Amino acid sequence: QRRGAEFVMFSVPSYACQRRTSLDNRNAVLTDALSLLADNAELSGDEGRGVAFRRAAAVLKALPKPVTDTTQLRGLPCLGEHSLRVIKDILEDGASDEVESTRRSERYKALKVLTGVFGVGVKTADRWIREGIRDLQRLRDSGPALNRAQQAGLQHYDDLNQPVTRAEADAIAEIVERAVASVLPGAQTTLTGGFRRGKLTGHDVDFLITHPEEGREEGLVPKVVSWLESEGVLLYQKTARNSYLEGRDGPGRPSSSMDRFETCFSIFKLPREEKRGAGQTHGAACGPEAGHKPWRAVRVDLVVSPVSQFAFALLGWTGSKLFERELRRWARHEKAMSLSSHALYDNKQRRYLRAASEEEIFAHLGLEFIPPSERNA
Ligand code: 8DG
Ligand code: MN
Ligand code: MN
């Protein structure tokens, strides 16, 4: 409806890291549709098209009001012909044929289910589909060789595909903090990822750990893992050592988008709400005989950073994924700098720019500071 005062033209800067994107998305119908097309493109191995749809969705997420007419979008960045057509179809007909037929397609559904198994990427899912494995039943029965991560992923499929709540994230934080405090007193644990951005649910819980004395954090992950294992908290874990050497494979080098911190990608065994704290008063209602385990599996990521890199690691692990991607693109194309979760390198001055806080990194990049709750691009 183009009724006078109701009609708003929008304007947003072109990089997601130049604007605020809260969780209050006024255009969820449109952004869900574009995100589905982004998923589909990524599942088809077309990362470029996937990013294009994600950027388009992110522009709509940043708008202060619902879009009612495509003419309102004139001059907005990142809205290509394809995205505009989808938006137009939804605004005019209530739905987009392309989106709905994609949603219903057997290939899309199979790829979603199979990549929904922790440890399964697009290539593996695609190979299985060509071998006739299109659902979990077939996967369980026909049993192609599964690695350790995939075995755990399949075993805990239902739990891992149920969103983690904020209360569960807090309960996990308590466990992680206890583990960290007992193996390295003085170390600091920070909740990162979507929960730091204020999300109410997540697909996992992310933590960044450091120690105020540089070097003390070395070897922390294996110690935390041992503690968690001795407490029976871990259903699965895969630990990686720190392999970052400034200058050798720092941000100036191309191969640097991979993270090189000590990390642990894990699955926690979290006691259920009823069993936490208040003892087992409701035992019968949620015991195993009721078909309900007294615990549930939750994906947890632990990352350890030396304190000198903490601000970069915090910025890098807070997300959203698109916000991170846009920060790096801004740095490279607008500032001739290379940003990673370890450092910021100025290609013109040929030196690393130090930062002790996220605010300082935004300042180095010539960007207005965007707080975590506004990085939901
Ligand atoms: P969710 O879990 O609530 O669904 O969303 P999220 O918390 O935003 O997503 P995430 O997949 O847990 O990722 C959180 C941030 O961590 C995101 O900005 C990307 C970043 N991240 C990984 N893996 C890696 C990695 O291997 N290297 C780097 N540099 N960052 C990573 O998830
Ligand atoms: Mn997360
Ligand atoms: Mn994560």
Q: What pLDDT does residue 1 have?
A: 47
Which is the closest atom of ligand 1 to the Cα of 197?
8
- pTM for the complete prediction? 0.92
pLDDT at 66 over 90: yes
Each residue's pLDDT tens digit, 295-314: 999 999 999 999 999 999 99
Task: Please give the ipTM for the structure prediction.
Answer: 0.95
CA of 321 to the centre of ligand 1 (A): 6
Q: Return the ligand number nearest the Cα of 265.
A: 3
CA of 319 to the centre of ligand 1 (A): 6
For the chain, the farthest-separated pair of C-alpha atoms sits apart, in whole angstroms, at 67
> Predicted confidence band at 48 (pLDDT cuts at 50, 70, 90)?
very high
Residue 42 vs residue 248, higher pLDDT: 42
Tokens of 287: 């015991």
Catalytic residue status for 170 = no
Q: Which residues line ligand 1 (CB under 6 A)?
A: 193-194, 199, 202-204, 206, 259, 316-317, 319-321, 324, 341
- Measured CA to CA in angstroms, residue 207 lies from 15, 156, 210, 343 at distances of 27, 21, 10, 19
Residue 251 vs residue 77, higher pLDDT: 77
181-187's contacts with Cβ under 8 Å and 24+ in sequence apart are 182/227, 183/220, 183/223, 183/224, 183/226, 183/227, 184/211, 184/216, 184/217, 184/220, 184/223, 186/211, 186/212, 186/213, 186/216, 187/211, 187/216, 187/217, 187/220
Q: What is the per-residue DSSP string for 194-224?
A: HHHTT-SEESSEEEEEE-SSTTTTTTHHHHH
Please tell me the residue having the least CA distance from ligand 1 atom 5. 194
CA atoms of 180 and 172, how far apart (whole Å): 12
Catalytic residue status for 32 = no
Which is the closest atom of ligand 1 to the Cα of 194?
7
CA of 296 to the centre of ligand 2 (A): 17
Which is the closest atom of ligand 1 to the Cα of 204?
2
pLDDT at 276 over 70: no
Catalytic residue status for 206 = yes
Q: What is the mean pLDDT of residues 171-197?
A: 98
Q: Return the ligand number nearest the Cα of 375.
A: 1
Number of other CB atoms surrounding residue 20 within 10 Å: 15
